Structure 1
Amino acid sequence: MSVLQKIAEIEAEMARTQKNKATSGHLGMLKAKLAKFRRELIEPKGGGGGGAGEGFDVAKTGDARIGFVGFPSVGKSTLLSNLAGVYSEVAAYEFTTLTTVPGVIRYKGAKVQLLDLPGIIEGAKDGKGRGKQVIAVARTCSLIYIVLDVLKPLQHKHLIEKELEGFGIRLNKTPPNIVFKRKDKGGLNLTSTVAQSELDNDLVKTILNEYRISNADITLRIDATAEDLIDVIEGNRVYIPCIYILNKIDQISIEELDLVYKVPHCVPISAHHKWNFDDLLEKMWEYLALVRIYTKPKGQLPDYTAPVVLREGKTTIEDFANKLHRSIMKEFKYALVWGSSVKHQPQKVGKTHILQDEDVVQIVKK
C-alpha cells in the first residue's frame, strides 16, 4: 500500500471515529501515524528525494520573501505584475503560471522578493499536480499571501489551509509552549503548569508509543492538544504569518465589502484596478515585522537612504554588524546608538543590545 493510500485510510478512520474521552487515545495514535506518513511525503526515505524541480529553486534575495498561494485564475499573476512591474504571463484560462515567477518591490527602504507560486490544487500535499514543489517553496517564505476570489473565498480558504497544514506550515500561529526532552532512561515525566482539557498521561503515552519514545520529560505550559504535542515531537513545523487577499472586489457591493473587512488577517483588493494596494503594503509591513537600522560613519551624518534591514528577533548589535560584514565583530569595541532603544542620545552599548526600528548606529572598533 502506498503512503498516499495509508494517509487516505487514516483520514477516513478519523472521520468515522466519534470524538469522546473513550476514543481520545485511539485518535491520538491515528494523528501521530498521520503526521509520520505526511513527513515521509515531505522527506522521502532514502535521502534527497530529488531537486525541487525546474523553476522552483529561485534564489532568495532581499530582506524578506513573500509567496503568493492560491487556486488557478484568482488573480495572483495580475497582482504580482501590478505590484512589482514584473511581467508574469497572465491569461483568463487556468494553470498559466507553471514555474515560480520572482519579482521584487522596495517598500520603506526594504527589498521584498515576491514569488507567484503556481496554482495549488486540492491534494497538493499528497503530491498531486506540482503542489509538493510549490509548498516546499512556500515553507521558505517570510510571509504568505493566500489570494482568494472574493466570490468564493471561504471554500478556497479552507482547502488551501488544509493543504499547507498537511505540509507542516502553521499560519498565523506561534509554536506551542511545550518543553519536550528525550532521555535515555527514567520513563515518562509529564508536568503541566495549566489545566489540561485534552492531554493526560495515557494520551501522551499513546502518542509517544507511536514514535517509540518511552523516556522523556514533557512540560505543558499551555492547554495543549494532541496536534500541539505531535508538532513539537515532529520538530519540522514552520510558523509563517499569512495575509488573506480577497481579490476582485470590483464585483461586489459596498455592503458586502464592509463584511469582508471584518475577516481576520484579510485585505480586500482589486488587482486589475490596483485598488487598495496601500492598505495591502501597510499590512505586509506590519506582518513582516522588519526593523530598519541606519548606519552613521564617524564624523558624518547618518545614511537614511539605505537602511540595514533586520528580522524581528534578530536585532542585536551583533546581528546588525554581521549583516554589514562578518569581519566587523572581530574588531568590535562598542557601538553608539541614537533612537528609541536607548535612554540617552547617543548611548554606548555592547553587542547584545537590542535595536528598534529606525535606530541609528555607529560602530566603534578596537
Structure 2
Amino acid sequence: MGILEKISEIEKEIARTQKNKATEYHLGLLKAKLAKYRAQLLEPSKSASSKGEGFDVMKSGDARVALIGFPSVGKSTFLSLMTSTASEAASYEFTTLTCIPGVIEYKGANIQLLDLPGIIEGAAQGKGRGRQVIAVARTADVVIMMLDATKGEVQRSLLEKELESVGIRLNKHKPNIYFKPKKGGGISFNSTVTLTQCSEKLVQLILHEYKIFNAEVLFREDCSPDEFIDVIVGNRVYMPCLYVYNKIDQISMEEVDRLARKPNSVVISCGMKLNLDYLLEMLWEYLALTCIYTKKRGQRPDFTDAIILRKGASVEDIFLDLGQSRLRAPAPSTVRSGWA
C-alpha cells in the first residue's frame, strides 16, 4: 500500500470514528500517523529533482505576499491592477502556469506579490503543480487567498484543507508548548494550566508513535493533540492569511455584506476596481510593517526615504538595516517613527 492509500485510509477511519473519551487515544494515534505520512509525502524524491523545474523567485523588497487560489478566480487580473507587472488573464482555467512576481509600492514600502498557478483539489498529494505552489507559499510573510465570491465557501474550505495538510497554519499562533528530546530519563510531563484536550497518557502514546521515549514536555496553554503533533514535527509555518472574495459584482448586496463581516476577509471586484484601496490597507496591517524616518542633527527629517521594518523593531534593528557604517557615524541621527 502506497503513502497516498495509507493517508486515505487513515482519513476515512478518523471520519468514521466518533469522538469521545473512549476513542481519544485511538484518534490521537491516528492523527500522529497521518502527520508522519503527510511529511513523507512532501519529501522531494531524488528522481523527481532532476525532472521539471521549480518556479520560486528570489525574495526581494520589504515583504513577500503569496497570491493563491483556484484557477480563474482573478489572481492575474489582481496582480496587473496592483503592480506594473502584466500577468496573462483570461476567462479559462490555468492561464498562469508559472510564478509571476510583481511589486506593490505602498507607503514607501516595496511589497513583493507572487501570482502563483491555480491550486486544484489534491494539490498536497502532488496533483497539478500543487507541491511547488505550496512550497513557495511557505516562504511568504502573508498569504492572500483569492476566492470567487459566487462559490467562495467551497473554495475556502478546500484551500484551507490543502494548506493545513502541508503544515501551513493560517491565522494561528505557535502552540505554547516546551518540548525537548533527551538521551535518557524517560518522558517528563508537566503543565502550568488545566488540560482539557490532552492527557499525559495521550502525550506519551503520540511520542512513542514518533519513536521518542525520552523527552521533556511542558504545556503552557491548553492545546489539542494536533497542536502537540505540530510541535513535535517542528516544520510548521504560522502566517497571517487575508481571505479576498473577488467578483462581488456578481452576487447580491446581502451576500456581499455577509462575506465582508467574516473574520480576516475583504470583498473586492477586480473587474470594476471596487474596494482595492481598503484591501491594501488591510494587507499593510497584516504585514505589520512600520515606516522609520531618520534626520541629521539640525535638519528636517527626510520623509521621501523611509526605513521599512516590522512593528516592534528596536533601534539596533534600524542601525543594522542602515549598515554597519552607521554604527561608527560621528553624529548620531535622531529617529522618528510613524505611518507614511
- Give 1:288-307 correspondences, 5 Å limit: 288-307=287-306
Q: 1:194 to 1:267 in 2, by over 3 A?
A: same
The residue that corresponds to 1:118 in the other structure is 117
Give a deviation string over 1:178-206, Cα, whole Å, max 9, x none. Answer: 11111222211211122111100110011
Q: Mark the runs of 5 or more structure 1 residues left unpaired by the alignment.
A: 340-355, 360-366
Q: Are 1:294 and 1:358, in contact at CA under 8 Å, matched by a contact in 2?
A: no
The residue that corresponds to 1:344 in the other structure is none
Question: Take 2:306 and 2:33, find their aligned partners in 1: how far apart are those partners?
Answer: 47
The residue that corresponds to 2:206 in the other structure is 207
Question: Take 2:53 and 2:147, find their aligned partners in 1: how far apart are those partners?
Answer: 26
Q: Are 1:79 and 1:272, in contact at CA under 8 Å, matched by a contact in 2?
A: no
**1:160 aligned counterpart, secondary structure:** helix
The residue that corresponds to 1:362 in the other structure is none
Amino acid at match of 1:309: I
In the alignment, is residue 164 of structure 1 matched against residue 163 of structure 2? yes
- Give 1:253-332 correspondences, 5 Å limit: 253-313=252-312, 315-329=313-327, 331=328
Q: 1:257 to 1:100 in 2, by over 3 A?
A: same
Q: 1:335 to 1:44 in 2, by over 3 A?
A: same
* Cα shift at 1:234: 0.7
**1:304 aligned counterpart, secondary structure:** coil
* Cα shift at 1:50: 2.6
Question: Take 2:167 and 2:48, find their aligned partners in 1: how far apart are those partners?
Answer: 18
**2:303 aligned counterpart, secondary structure:** strand
Amino acid at match of 2:146: V
The residue that corresponds to 1:11 in the other structure is 11
* Cα shift at 1:246: 0.5
Q: CA RMSD in A?
A: 2.1
* Cα shift at 1:53: 5.7
Question: Take 1:69 and 1:246, find their aligned partners in 2: how far apart are those partners?
Answer: 12
Question: Take 1:56 and 1:93, find their aligned partners in 2: how far apart are those partners?
Answer: 22
Q: 1:6 to 1:149 in 2, by over 3 A?
A: same
The residue that corresponds to 2:55 in the other structure is 56
* Cα shift at 1:42: 2.5
Question: Take 2:261 and 2:173, find their aligned partners in 1: how far apart are those partners?
Answer: 22
Q: Are 1:54 and 1:99, in contact at CA under 8 Å, matched by a contact in 2?
A: no
The total of aligned residue pairs comes to: 340
Amino acid at match of 1:19: K
- Give 1:1-366 correspondences, 5 Å limit: 1-44=1-44, 50=49, 54=53, 56-313=55-312, 315-329=313-327, 331=328, 337-339=334-336, 357=338
Deviates more, 1:237-246 or 1:252-261: 252-261
Give a deviation string over 1:283-309, Cα, whole Å, max 9, x none. Answer: 001100002111223443322112111
**2:299 aligned counterpart, secondary structure:** coil
Question: Take 2:277 and 2:57, find their aligned partners in 1: how far apart are those partners?
Answer: 27
Q: Are 1:73 and 1:93, in contact at CA under 8 Å, matched by a contact in 2?
A: yes
The residue that corresponds to 1:350 in the other structure is none
Q: Are 1:43 and 1:49, in contact at CA under 8 Å, matched by a contact in 2?
A: no
Q: Are 2:120 and 2:130, in contact at CA under 8 Å, matched by a contact in 1?
A: yes
Question: Take 1:197 and 1:334, find their aligned partners in 2: how far apart are those partners?
Answer: 58
Amino acid at match of 1:18: Q
* Cα shift at 1:3: 1.9
Q: Are 1:317 and 1:335, in contact at CA under 8 Å, matched by a contact in 2?
A: no
Amino acid at match of 2:321: K
* Cα shift at 1:338: 4.5
Question: Take 2:332 and 2:3, find their aligned partners in 1: how far apart are those partners?
Answer: 55
**1:305 aligned counterpart, secondary structure:** coil
**1:79 aligned counterpart, secondary structure:** helix
Question: Take 1:68 and 1:52, find their aligned partners in 2: how far apart are those partners?
Answer: 25
Q: 1:2 to 1:298 in 2, by over 3 A?
A: farther
Q: Are 1:52 and 1:133, in contact at CA under 8 Å, matched by a contact in 2?
A: no
Question: Take 2:185 and 2:80, find their aligned partners in 1: how far apart are those partners?
Answer: 59
Deviates more, 1:33-42 or 1:131-140: 33-42
Question: TM-score, length-normalised on structure 2?
Answer: 0.94
